[in-house]
Structure 1
Amino acid sequence: MNIKITGTGSYIPSTVEKNTAFHNHTFLNADGSAINAPNEVIVEKFKEITGIAERRYAKDHLNSSDLGFFAAEKAIADANIDPETIDYIIAAHNFGDVKHNTIQGDMLPSLASRIKHSLRIKNPKCVAYDILFGCPGWVEGVIQAKAFIKSGMAKRCLVIGTETLSRVTDKHDRDAMIFSDGAGATIVEASNEEGGILAHETASFTYDEAYYLFFGKSNNPELPQDTRYIKMDGRKIYEFALTNVPKAMKTCLDNSGVDIKDVKKIFIHQANEKMDEAILKRFYRLYKTAIPEGVMPMSIQKLGNSSVATVPTLLDLVKRKQLEGHSLNKGDIVIFASVGAGMHINAIVYQY
């Protein structure tokens, strides 16, 4: 028995927020002091570092659970299955439903329960739950789905990554330009066909690294100090990722028995273009081999960092040939990899 992704779907919000929209923001340092540079310079430097030229924001009336529902519908249709036959719905996110212009995350009931409700699934044995695992949440959800199926507890799972990070960003923090909204979903199920999940690797680094991403106050001291926003230590995350993600990917690939030269695509969490490129270089350096052209598709330039949604969205775009220069063929070996709050790292080697 193999475990395969039989359906994919994504929801990319239609609202485009270009970098020029940030020219009128008042950016401040973490201590509230002014940044000694015009916004045009700040924004251009940001683009040089992250590669992000624009990002997508959800419409005001839509929440994370809505985005996840839209992506789930597409994945179910793509797999051509009856939703009543789904055994588990696993929804990865970070902040629940955050309504537009509010400051409170809503996770009661779980987003997975809300999505199941929206799908109108009656079967009570379809178990719906959420996973909080930072940006690697969707990858970890697929790993959990594999465990359920391998153990005989399930035959078919729906794994979703959905987020509206634009609603938890501090407009006075330059990092606010990184984050975006979106959702991706996959059907994972037992299959008699060749391929599927060949190996996985997961690790949680918490001794010194747990709070590299955290909820903190605004950089503007004049705003309410009890309101919290997503914050991060970008330098520490960058160094952590470059040290640990390539190692996890190598362990995963070695355990799969696949040769590095047979890897066709690497789907890395779209966090930062330069960081992802550096991870790729270090990964191939571990094997003392050159990086193949076109091995790493990228969507961050246009879609920004939508956390748990980036990897499944990227997969769906490539599968549907909607990302220029990239496609997937039956038998292709791919790697999924992510790093994020916790700090968590994971990877999957998969044969398409």
Structure 2
Amino acid sequence: MVVGTGSSLPARVVTNADLAEQMDTSDAWIVQRTGIRQRHIAAADETTSVLGARAARAALEDAGLTADDIDLVICATSTPDHTFPATATQIQAALGIHQGAAFDLQAVCAGFVFAVSTADKFLTTGAARRALVVGAETFSRIVDWEDRTTCVLFGDGAGAIVLEAQDEAGNRGVLSASLRSDGRHREKLYVDGGPGSTGTTGHLRMEGRDVFRFAVGQVTDVIVEAFAQAGVTAEELDWFVPHQANRRIIEASADKIGIAREKIVLTVDRHGNTSAASIPLALDVARRDGRIQAGDLVMIEAIGGGFSWGAALIRW
């Protein structure tokens, strides 16, 4: 079950008006198409692991736990500090965790959903007792700041949750998860570089219309399957916490499944698209402002490059 949440955002805020001073765009254009009003941009010394460690530390404090209580760290990220070692190991070291395993998971924007599902498998099989699941990104470092169609979409940040295996948890924790990938769609959302191909970091490239159509038309299959696996319906859901990429995609997906819009947790206006960090950031916001309460049924859902997409149902 989820016993703690935490988040970390860089201090620097870049508004749509700020971007309009640098390129041919406007606040109205960005808001109309995406719902984004601002995003946070990491400082030079704020690496992905720095942001991730801050969020993880906050989650540990929220759970009332220490480094000695954690035996698994998974970091979902597409912007690691280094090719290796894993960013998760740097978060582990920063927190003073000296036991258990730590590794990264790469499923782009769907990474946190994949990481939660993976951590759940460790916990339910007894391979770990408590898992720190982090989503952390510095996407500002891989966007092309001369491409106004993509650079306005992304921001930096990190979020984390602590999952704990409890003998008396009852029907709480991860109830179901549905994951999908289809590598045939690589050209629609990818980074044009890498150590094994160009030897460079590369920049993010996206066919926005194709991603929008796929996200609305296809991705809802994992939501339906997650509901079916758990034996619940959309009407029983308390909160829908999707990947925060585009408000129009989020609302269209919810409408298609029959999830009431008042049940949607939206942070895309404040954070922009923070890739794997967006869901845990939104979870932390909704839990700390009192919306998500113990016993609530929460759906997380995301699609990322590749394409990879997934959904998971959590009883809080």
The residue type equivalent to 2:310 in the other structure is N
Paired residues in the alignment total 307
Q: Check if 1:245 corresponds to 2:195.
A: no
SS at match of 1:193: coil
C-alpha deviations, 1:7-65, integer Å up to 9, x for none? 11000222110111222334xxxxxxxxxxxx245x53222100111111112211000
Partner residue in 2 for 1:223: none
The residue type equivalent to 1:25 in the other structure is Q
Partner residue in 1 for 2:175: 198
* Separation (CA, whole Å) in 1 of partners of 2:34 and 2:146: 18
Partner residue in 2 for 1:51: 35
CA contact (8 A) 2:59 2:161 kept: yes
Partner residue in 1 for 2:3: 6
CA contact (8 A) 2:30 2:37 kept: no
Q: Check if 1:333 corresponds to 2:301.
A: no
Q: Check if 1:79 corresponds to 2:52.
A: no
Partner residue in 1 for 2:87: 111
What are the equivalent positions in structure 2 for 1:162-311 lying under 5 Å apart?
A: 162-174=136-148, 175-191=150-166, 192-194=168-170, 195-206=172-183, 208-216=184-192, 228-284=202-258, 291-311=259-279
What's the TM-score once normalised by structure 2's chain length? 0.93
SS at match of 2:185: coil
C-alpha deviations, 1:194-231, integer Å up to 9, x for none? 3211111001012x3133211238xxxxxxxx772111
**1:148 to 1:18, Cα distance in 2 relative to 1, 3 A:** same
**1:278 to 1:292, Cα distance in 2 relative to 1, 3 A:** closer
SS at match of 1:210: helix
Deviation at 1:120, TM superposition (A): 1.5
Deviation at 1:138, TM superposition (A): 1.1
The residue type equivalent to 2:232 in the other structure is V
Deviation at 1:122, TM superposition (A): 2.5
* Separation (CA, whole Å) in 2 of partners of 1:23 and 1:199: 43
* Separation (CA, whole Å) in 1 of partners of 2:21 and 2:65: 48
Deviation at 1:180, TM superposition (A): 0.2
Deviation at 1:168, TM superposition (A): 1.1
CA contact (8 A) 1:247 1:283 kept: no
* Separation (CA, whole Å) in 2 of partners of 1:176 and 1:122: 38
* Separation (CA, whole Å) in 2 of partners of 1:89 and 1:211: 31
The residue type equivalent to 2:297 in the other structure is I
C-alpha deviations, 1:151-199, integer Å up to 9, x for none? 2211111110000111111111111000100000111111222321111
The residue type equivalent to 2:90 in the other structure is R
**1:79 to 1:47, Cα distance in 2 relative to 1, 3 A:** same
Q: Please identify the structure whose Cα radius of gyration is greater.
A: 1
C-alpha deviations, 1:318-343, integer Å up to 9, x for none? 1000xxxx602222111010100111
What are the equivalent positions in structure 2 for 1:149-160 lying under 5 Å apart?
A: 149-160=123-134
Q: Check if 1:66 corresponds to 2:62.
A: no
Percent identity, aligned pairs only, is 30
CA contact (8 A) 1:95 1:107 kept: no
RMSD: 1.6
Larger helix share, 1 or 2:
2
What's the TM-score once normalised by structure 1's chain length? 0.84
* Separation (CA, whole Å) in 1 of partners of 2:246 and 2:85: 32
The residue type equivalent to 1:246 in the other structure is T
Q: Check if 1:350 corresponds to 2:310.
A: no
The residue type equivalent to 1:165 in the other structure is F
Deviation at 1:255, TM superposition (A): 1.1
* Separation (CA, whole Å) in 1 of partners of 2:39 and 2:314: 28
Deviation at 1:301, TM superposition (A): 0.6
The residue type equivalent to 1:121 in the other structure is I
SS at match of 2:122: helix
* Separation (CA, whole Å) in 1 of partners of 2:286 and 2:69: 27
